[in-house]
Structure 1
Amino acid sequence: MIDPARRQLIEIYLAAYNHFDIPGMLGALTDDVRFEHHQGGELSVATDGKADLEKLARVGAQLFAAREQKIVELEERGSDIVATIDFHGEIAEDIPEGPRAGTIIEMQGTTEFGFAPHGKICKVIDRA
């Protein structure tokens, strides 16, 4: 059974993400949080610490007019929780050599959440 406090922290983080609430996202994280995004099995971006993740989150938020991550399933793996997530997003502006404004992106991936002893999220590893 998933620890209710950890589930709630994941839900707070994702709700803040969905609402472009970067301070809300950061509030669920430790100061030394590790973030990784893997695309197609390759590490595409990584940050260490809240300050670097905040910069990345601000850039990422500008890419989307709307976005939503929805939990499909949560699974404990050792001390971590892995969420299977459905993602739906609408591109805000034309991206050079990429999707055009209004393009809808839908995919499923996983996010692995690690937790510090005091309870906040200390690791977020996205795989798409």
Structure 2
Amino acid sequence: MTQKDQADIISKYIEAYNHFDIDGMAGCLHDDVIFENISGGKTGLKTEGLEAFKTQADTAAAYFSSRHQAVNQWIFSDESVTVSISYEAVLATDLPNGMEKGSKLSLKGESEFTFSDGKIIRITDRS
């Protein structure tokens, strides 16, 4: 798989994410996908398998009225692709941590993508 192929799949995945297109995101993913979100060095969420990913993605989408990831940098290695991300979102609902509906989130982080059989098999988000 070429770097261009990997970048195209990641770009398609992020575009689908930005448009709340869960099926579009899932189309980029391997059936055995593992998704992991790490914040402050601690794993906050981990899913295994495409169905678990889709369930989590549906739940997460309901929290936002808008969201947008933009890639700032691409780093290709033999094993994976890491992208530096700027993330902005607007909450659609109040959250248990005290953040209120309409609040704007702005974060920077990185996502590491690993591939198998021409699809994303692992996503590790770090912020």
Q: Same fold (TM over 0.5)?
A: yes
Q: Quote the Cα distance in structure 2 between the aligned partners of 1:104 and 1:95.
A: 12
For 2:125, the aligned partner's letter is D
User: Counterpart in 2 of 1:79?
Assistant: 79
Two-structure CA RMSD over aligned residues (Å): 1.0
Structure 2 alignment gaps of length 5 or more: none
CA deviation string 1:38-95 (max 9, x = no partner): 0111000101100000111011000000000000001013310000000000000112
User: Counterpart in 2 of 1:122?
Assistant: 121
Q: TM-score, normalised by structure 1?
A: 0.95
User: Counterpart in 2 of 1:112?
Assistant: 112
Segments ≥4 residues shifted beyond 4 Å: none
Q: Quote the Cα distance in structure 1 between the aligned partners of 2:83 and 2:97.
A: 31
User: Counterpart in 2 of 1:41?
Assistant: 41
Aligned residues: 126
Identity score, percent: 33
Q: Quote the Cα distance in structure 2 between the aligned partners of 1:96 and 1:4.
A: 41
Matches within 5 A, 1:40-59: 40-59=40-59
Q: Quote the Cα distance in structure 2 between the aligned partners of 1:109 and 1:97.
A: 20
Q: TM-score, normalised by structure 2?
A: 0.96
